[in-house]
Amino acid sequence: MIQPPEIIRVSKSRVSCDGSDDIPAALGHPRVFLEIDEHGYVDCGYCDRRFVLAGGVADTGDVGNLPDIASGASL
């Protein structure tokens, strides 16, 4: 079974991701900047982390089951 993406709630619509958290940044991926659009969330194309705008339309318990949205993509 595929694990759901790691979900990170954020307070701003522009976020950055380098794949590091509890690992050194050098072992992560290049730092990328992502923009959360009207869907209320965005996925990192490198590590699949899902950034959800706190209080936004996608800030629900079901956000892990929503389709992937890479930065700049539209449905």
Residue ranges of domains in the chain: 7-20+29-65
As assigned by CATH, the class of the 7-20+29-65 domain is: mainly beta
Tell me what pLDDT residue 73 has: 46
4 falls in which pLDDT band (50, 70, 90)? low
pLDDT of 11-59, one tens digit each? 999 999 988 766 665 666 888 899 999 999 999 988 888 999 999 888 8
Q: Report the chain's terminal Cα–Cα distance, integer Å.
A: 25
**0.75 exceeded by pTM:** yes
Residue 59: closest CA among 34, 39, 37, 33: 39
